[in-house]
Amino acid sequence: MKQSNDFFQTLRGYLTVFLPSQKCCSENTRKAYREVLNSLIDYLQSEKRIGLGQVSFELFDETLVLEFLDWLQTTRHLTASTRNHRLMVLRSFFKYAGMVDCAQIDLHMKLKKIPTQNEQGRIVEFLTENALKALLTQPDISKISEYRNMVFMTLMYDSAARCSELLDLRVQDLRLDSSHPTAYLTGKGNKMRLVPLMLQTARHCEQYLAQFHPEPTKKGSDYFFFTVSHGERHRMSPDNAACFMKRYGEQARYSCPEIPNRVHPHQLRHTRAIHLYRDGMPLALLSEFLGHANVETTKIYAYADTEMKRAAIQKGEKARGTISDAEPIWKNDDEMLRKLCGLR
C-alpha cells in the first residue's frame, strides 16, 4: 500500500504544487495535464484490470507507456500532435517524480527516448488575403458592439495573440501614445512578451478606448475587451469571440468563396504567422513573436508555406498538361503491380 501511496502523493504534489507554483501553469494547462493523467489511470483500470489501490511506480515501464499511447490513438483517434502532447505530459510527470525520488529517474530517461510522431501532416488553418479582408469588413461599425468586434479581430491578427491572451489583455497593457505602439501579452506559464502594433491598429485601439474606457472612469486594471451583465463588466468569454467570428465568416462567404467552412479566432493567429513568414521573418524571431517555447513548434508555418508553393506548382503543371490525372494502368490490377515490383 505504501508504494501506491507514494505514487498518488507524488501525483498530488505534481498537480497541486509543482505545476501552479513552480511551473506557473495556467488553470487551463493544469486541467489538460490532469485529464491526461486521469486517462492513464483509466487505462490501467479498464485495460490492465489494475485497481486504483494497486497503482504504483513499479508498474510503469517504457512498454506500458507505449501501449497506453497506442490505446489512446486507437480508441480516441488522436492526431500525432495530440499523441505527442500526451507523451510530453507523462515525461513531465515522471521527471518530477525523479526529482522527488531518484529511483524514478531511470524511467524518465527511458521515456525521453520514445520518439515523437511526425506532425508534418498537421494542417494549419489560415485565411487568404482576400478572405481576411472580407472577414474584417463584416462588422457594422456604426453599432458599438460591432465596432468592438472589429477592433478585437484587427488586434488579434496584428499581434498574432492567442485568444486567451487577448481576452486577458488589460487597458494598462497597451502602449499607444508613441510612434512605436506595443502590447504586452501574457502567454502560457504567465510569460509576458512585448509585441509591436501597426499604427493603424493603434489608432483603432485609441478610438475604442475613447468609447469603451472614457477618461473619467478608465482604470488600467480593467479588461480591454469586456461584456456587461447585470450592470457589471466581465471579461469577454472565448465563446463570445468564437460566436461572432463564426457569424462573420458565414456572412463573408457569400461574397468571398475563399472563406473556409469553419472560421474561428485562432485562424487569425495562424494567418498572421503565415504572412510574417512569407514576408521574410526568420523562424527564430517568429517563434519569439508568437510566444512559442520551442522553435520546433513554429516550423509548422514553414511546412505549410512549402505545401502551398508545391500546390501552386502542381496546379501550373496541370494547366500546361504536364501532369495527368489519369489513373495508372496498374491500379486495381494486382498481378501487374506484382510484376512491376519484381514479385513475378
pLDDT tens sequence across 194-207? 999 999 999 999 99
β-strand pairing of 182-186 with 232-235: unpaired
Cα–Cα distance measured from residue 220 to residue 171, given in angstroms and rounded to the nearest whole number: 5
pLDDT digits (tens, 9 = 90+) for 147-160: 999 999 999 999 99
Domain shared by 158 and 215, yes or no: yes
Domain shared by 95 and 219, yes or no: no
223 is catalytic: no
277 is catalytic: no
Confirm whether 304 is domain-assigned.
no
266 is catalytic: yes
Cα–Cα distance measured from residue 173 to residue 169, given in angstroms and rounded to the nearest whole number: 6
Mean per-residue pLDDT over the chain, rounded? 83
Average pLDDT, integer, range 310-324: 54
Confirm whether 314 is domain-assigned.
no
> How far apart are the two ends of the chain, measured CA to CA in Å?
62
184 is catalytic: no
Q: Is the pLDDT of residue 344 over 50?
A: no
* Tally of domains within the chain: 2
Domain shared by 105 and 202, yes or no: no
Beta strands in the chain (DSSP E): 174-175, 182-186, 192-196, 226-229, 232-235
**Active-site residue among 83, 108, 148, 162?**
162
Domain shared by 41 and 148, yes or no: no
269 is catalytic: yes
Domain holding 31, by residue range, is 2-112
Q: Is the pLDDT of residue 211 over 50?
A: yes
When pLDDT is cut at 50, 70 and 90, the band that residue 231 belongs to is: confident
**Active-site residue among 108, 269, 270, 272?**
269
Domain shared by 148 and 63, yes or no: no
Domain shared by 10 and 150, yes or no: no
